[in-house]
């Protein structure tokens, strides 16, 4: 499967906008969406440039690859309302509930396993949840190297597409394997990798 030409982003907060910025910079089309509708994103897509457009959540979900960056409390209702069968879904969420940044109850599972149950038929890949938004928005090339993005998933082809996409936008994608191990390492809170800003040299 080739690198996607259009990415749909569901959730236009700081992480969604930071990812959109990197995609547009790399020449990739973006459909940015949120719960308030396309009109609320007019200024944001104007700042991002001509490759970005505002759309509904449903329109974003019809893109080649879908990037989810909504709050955990909204994730289930958003996903259960979409048909993502066969689509690659990048899970950039963290199981944190507001107020108070409380960890969601996951029943001993990783958040991505829980989320996969809500996104019926989607090919879920965990990525882009460990970097702070200002770091994700900054130049991926730093100090003679490229900033690291961790990637894990159980679908080998879907994971390969996300790794290719990560390379295209100039980050260094590192494959952590499946969701049982990789997803646990990436999870915030609980994993050891969130908020660690590493640069791969060479």
**All domains of the chain, ordered by start, with CATH?**
6-201 (3.40.50.720)
More confident residue, 140 or 97: 140
**Residue 51, strand partner residues:** none
Q: What is the mean pLDDT of residues 87-100?
A: 91
User: In this predicted structure, what is the pLDDT of residue 1?
Assistant: 61
Q: What is the mean pLDDT of residues 64-72?
A: 96
With a cut of 80, say whether residue 171 has pLDDT above it. yes
User: In this predicted structure, what is the pLDDT of residue 108?
Assistant: 86
Q: How far apart are CA 50 and CA 97, in angstroms?
A: 34
With a cut of 70, say whether residue 24 has pLDDT above it. yes
Beta strands in 41-185 (DSSP E): 52-54, 65-68, 88-91, 96-97, 102-103, 123-127, 141-142, 145-153, 172-175
User: In this predicted structure, what is the pLDDT of residue 202?
Assistant: 73
């Amino acid at each position: 499967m080739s690198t996607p030409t259009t990415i749909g982003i569901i959730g236009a907060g700081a992480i969604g906008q930071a990812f959109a910025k990197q995609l547009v910079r790399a020449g990739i089309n973006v459909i940015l969406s949120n719960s308030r509708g396309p009109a609320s994103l007019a200024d944001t897509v104007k700042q991002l440039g001509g490759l970005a457009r505002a759309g509904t959540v449903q329109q974003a979900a019809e893109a080649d690859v879908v990037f989810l960056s909504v709050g955990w409390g909204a994730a289930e209702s958003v996903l259960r309302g979409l048909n993502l069968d066969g689509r690659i879904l990048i899970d950039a969420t963290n199981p944190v509930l507001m107020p108070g940044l409380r960890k969601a109850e996951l029943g001993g599972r990783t958040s991505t396993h829980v989320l996969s149950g809500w996104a019926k038929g989607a090919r879920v890949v965990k990525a882009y949840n460990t970097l702070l938004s200002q770091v994700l928005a900054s130049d991926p090339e730093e100090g003679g190297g490229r900033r690291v993005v961790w990637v894990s998933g159980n679908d080998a082809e879907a994971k390969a597409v996300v790794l290719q996409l990560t390379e295209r936008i100039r980050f260094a994608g590192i494959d952590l394997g499946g969701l049982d191990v990789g997803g646990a390492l990436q999870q915030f809170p609980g994993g050891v990798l969130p908020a660690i800003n590493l640069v791969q040299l060479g």
